[in-house]
Structures are given as structure tokens and as C-alpha cells.
Amino acid sequence: MELPNQENEMSKMLNGQVHILNQSLKFINSMSLKCALHLNIPEIIKNHCAPMTLTELITALGINKSKANCLFRLMRILINSGYFISQKISENEQGYVVAPSASFHSTKDASLIRIDVSLVAPVLQPAFVKPWDYLTKWFLNEEFCDMTPFEMAFQMSYWEYLRKEENAGRHFNESVAIDARLIGGVMIKECREIFEEIESVVDVGGGTGTASMIIANAFPNLRCINFDLEHVVDGLTSSENLVHVAGDMFQAVPPANVALLKWILHDWNDEECVKILKRCKEAVESSKEKGGRVMIIETVVNPDEKQKQVDEETRETQLLLDMLMMVLVGGKERDEKEWGQLFADAGFTRYKITPIFGFRSLIQLYP
């Protein structure tokens, strides 16, 4: 018979084994979701307009019936991850529906978006996974202090890789556009008063102009400038109140009442962020009396002692993104203290944080 303390130690060891295995195998959730999206399972089930049986799903997918049990197991892990729900149809039959928590898969609001392959694919590419094999070597070797694990793996920066690898660049641009549609939709609702009071806004690092177009369409009297590198904006079509301008945000930013930075600063180290913020400050400085400000949409990570202020999934998402930025580009997700130091170093006098973008917040900076 085991003594009580021995039983307790054994229980701890077994629980520890479960925890380590669970964490080690979590990539399977991501890869299973990727498979479901490639198979178009969410749309197939939604369009069925009723709980869909496994047999009906197999028929709709055109999958060999010998793989029925495998599809059942795929759906089981996706149900466990919260993407689908199994509903009882009859005494011996269950049907699948898309879970309310995964309702992003379809929406009638055109300013919002679906979570689809374009959003998931970039973070599941080999280019995102390979650098993690270099993380240990990166930590232990001083010669790699000026490189990221990504640069160690591919001998080029992440940005150079996106320009060189057409498919990766396309996935990246699609995912940025998807996020911009979501953020743009929230902004025109939550920031309406700001946009109605100003005359111009410049979207710094605005990519192909998705968010700028949403803002321009919602506020026809607002002059919108989509500002990014030449190869990004080249060939984009302007409209009556939207222009695309090429340039380098480290050198100068077009003047406007508001400079908008959507998920840009987490890509850069502190010194680079201060440079960008100074250029944005110069762009809005002359508009102090007209509501001039810099609007930043970024993660604000809660310190450990305040982590209970956000739900567990939100905080974990913030911390996972922080590690991703470290490995890919040498950037980071910041807490309020770190943000405050950057703002002070860039010469701003005050700021306001409003958590209205899920795991991200709106930060308003005043020159």
C-alpha cells in the first residue's frame, strides 16, 4: 500500500505529464482548424441550415466513406476546441453546427470578416514554424545578438522573405486586409465622434488601404491618406477623398489631423518605435487645435499582478503574439509602463488607453 505522501507525489507526476503533453500537442488544434478551413467545413455546415450529420458532411465533402471515422475524430477535436457544437437529432444521431463563439465564420456585416484560410494560413506556414528550431541556439550564442531566429533560419529578414516569396507575401497581405476590415468596422462605430470632428487622417503603414477605404467611405468629408512603401501602394486606385502616398515612416509622415498606426509598432524595437512616433508627432503637431493626435491600435499587456483583469484566452493570445514578434521580427507586445516610456521618449505629453478591439486597445497620443 502506498503512503499518502507517495500517492500525492505520484498524482503530481501524472498531472505534470498531462500538462506537458497538452501544451506540446496544442499545435494539433491549429492544424486541425487549418484542415477544416481548407475543406470549407464551416461554410458547408452553415449553408446546410440545420444540424448536419456526419454522413451528410461526408457526402458534401466528397470524402471516401472509409475515412468516416477519421472525419468524426477531426470534428471531435474541433468541437473540443470550441469551433463546432454537436447537437442531438435523434436517439442515435448527432448533427454539427458552427459554435456561436466561432460565428466570425459568417457575418452579414460587410465591415466585419470571416475567419478563413487567409487569416489562419500565414501563421501556419513553414516559415513561421522553422525559426523556433533556432530559438535555443539564438539564446546561447552571442554572435546572433543582432539577428532574429527568423533571420538565422532564412538568412534574410521577415520583410525581405515576404517580398521574395510571392505566396507568403500574398498570404500576409490577405491576412492584413482581413484584420483591417475588422478594425475598420469597429473604428467607424467606436471612433465616429473623432472622425466627424477632424478634416484629415493618415494611415501610417496602411498596406493596400483596406482600412483607409472603409473610413473614407464612412466619412466622405474626411480626407484620407493611405501611407506605405512604394512597392505596397504602387498601382492602388485613389478615390475622391482617398489618396495612396508612398514613403518611409522612419523619414517623414504626410501631415494630417490624425496619424493612425494599426498594429505597426509591435513589429519594431523600442528605438525604432520612438523614431516612428516622432515622425507621427511631427505630422499632427500643427493640428493641436483641431483635435490633432496619434491613434494607435496595439496590444496592452497587463502586468502579472493585474492579469485577472482580462480573460485567460485574451492574455494567452497577447503573450503568444509577443513571442511571435520576438522570433520573427525582433518586436514585442508591451504593457502600459513600456508604452508610457516610449511615448515620453517621443515627446508626447499625455495618452489615453481604451480597450475596444478585443485583445488590442485604442491608444490616443496628444502632442
- For residue 253, the model assigns a pLDDT of 98
- For residue 248, the model assigns a pLDDT of 97
CATH number of the structural domain 4-105? 1.10.10.10
Pairing of strands 334-335, 258-262: unpaired
Which residues of the chain fall below pLDDT 70?
Answer: 1-4, 101-122, 303-309
- For residue 3, the model assigns a pLDDT of 56
Q: Is 266 among the catalytic positions?
A: yes
Q: What is the pLDDT of residues 11-45, one digit of tens each?
A: 888 788 888 888 888 888 888 888 888 898 988 99
Q: Quick one: how far is CA 120 from the chain centroid?
A: 10
- For residue 109, the model assigns a pLDDT of 44
- For residue 24, the model assigns a pLDDT of 85
Q: What is the pLDDT of residues 268-324, one digit of tens each?
A: 999 999 999 999 999 999 888 778 999 999 999 986 555 556 788 888 889 999 999
CATH of 117-366 given 3.40.50.300, 3.40.190.10, 3.40.50.150, 3.40.630.40 = 3.40.50.150
- For residue 307, the model assigns a pLDDT of 53
Catalytic residue among 105, 171, 244, 266: 266
Put residue 199 in one of left, alpha, beta given phi > 0 → left and psi -120 to 50 → alpha.
alpha
C-alpha cell at 111: 465591415
CA-nearest of 168, 180, 292 to 228 is 180
Look at the chain and count its residues.
Answer: 367
Instruction: Please give the Cα distance from 46 to 96 (Å, whole number).
Output: 9
Instruction: Please give the Cα distance from 290 to 315 (Å, whole number).
Output: 36
Domain definitions of the chain by residue range: 4-105, 117-366
Distances (CA, A) of 264 to 90, 204, 271, 283: 51, 8, 14, 17
Q: What are phi and psi of 277, to 5 degrees?
A: -65, -35
Q: Where are the alpha helices (DSSP H) in the chain?
A: 4-24, 27-38, 41-48, 54-61, 68-80, 117-120, 126-129, 135-140, 149-154, 158-164, 166-190, 192-197, 210-218, 230-233, 270-284, 312-328, 336-345
